[in-house]
A = this chain, B = another copy of it.
Amino acid sequence: MRLATLLGPDLKEILKEDPDQARALLEELHAEDIADIVSELEPEEAAMLMQRLQPQDAAPIFERLEEHEQEDLVEAMPPESIARIASEMEPDDRADLFSTLPEEMGDRLLETLSRVDPVAADEVREIEKFADTAAGHLMTTKYVSVSPRVTVRGALDAVRAFVKEHSESPVYNVHVLQDGALFGLASLRELVAAEETATMADVVRQNVISVPPDMDQEEVARRMAKYDLAAMPVVTTDGKLLGIITVDDIIDVLTQEQTEDVQRIGGVEPLDVPYFQTSFLEFIKKRGVWLIILFVEEFFTQTALRYYDPVFEAIKGASYYVPLLISTGGNSGSQSSTLIIRGMAVGEIKPKDWWRIIVREMGMGLVLGLILGTIGFARVLMYRDQHVNFALTIAITLVGIVMVGCTVGSMLPLVLKRAGIDPATSSTPFIASLVDVLGIIVFVHVAKIVMASVIAAAGGPVVH
Residues of A bordering B, CB below 8 Å = 28-30, 32, 156, 159-160, 163-164, 170-172, 187-190, 192-193, 207, 209, 221, 224-230, 247-248, 250-252, 254-255, 258-259, 261-263, 265-268, 271, 274-276, 280, 283-284, 287-288, 290-292, 294-296, 298-299, 301-302, 305-306, 309, 312, 317, 319-324, 326-328, 330-332, 334-335, 337-343, 345-346, 348-349, 353, 356, 360, 363-364, 367-368, 371-372, 375-376, 379, 402, 427-429, 432-433, 436, 440
Report yes or no: B156 in contact with A170, Cβ–Cβ below 8 A: no
Residues in B whose Cβ lies below 8 Å from that of A338 = 262-263, 265-268
On whether the beta carbons of A323 and B323 are closer than 8 Å, the reply is yes
- Expressed in whole angstroms, the Cα–Cα distance for A337 and B363 within the complex equals 31
Q: When the two chains form their complex, are residues A265 and B224 in contact, meaning their CB atoms are under 8 A apart?
A: no
- Bound complex: CA of A433 vs CA of B290, how far in Å? 19
Say whether B327 contacts A433, CB under 8 Å: yes
- From B322, B331, B363, A294 is in contact (CB under 8 Å) with B331
Q: A299-B324, A302-B320, A319-B322 are in contact. List 20 more A-B contacts (CB 8 A).
A: A225-B252, A225-B255, A247-B251, A255-B346, A262-B341, A262-B345, A266-B334, A267-B334, A267-B338, A268-B339, A275-B339, A284-B371, A288-B368, A295-B324, A298-B324, A299-B379, A302-B321, A327-B429, A331-B429, A334-B429
A276–B171 Cα distance when bound, in Å, is: 39
Nearest first, the 8 closest Cβ-Cβ pairs linking A and B are: A266-B338, A305-B320, A228-B248, A163-B193, A301-B323, A171-B189, A274-B348, A331-B429
Q: Are A328 and B284 in contact (CB under 8 A)?
A: no
Q: Are A32 and B172 in contact (CB under 8 A)?
A: no
8 chain-A/chain-B pairs, Cβ below 8 angstroms: A28-B207, A170-B230, A192-B192, A274-B348, A291-B371, A295-B376, A298-B324, A302-B320
Q: Pick the most buried of A250, A327, A360: most chain B CB atoms within 10 A of its CB.
A: A327
Nearest CB on B from A194, distance (A): 9
Name which residue of chain B comes closest to A169, CB basis. Answer: B189
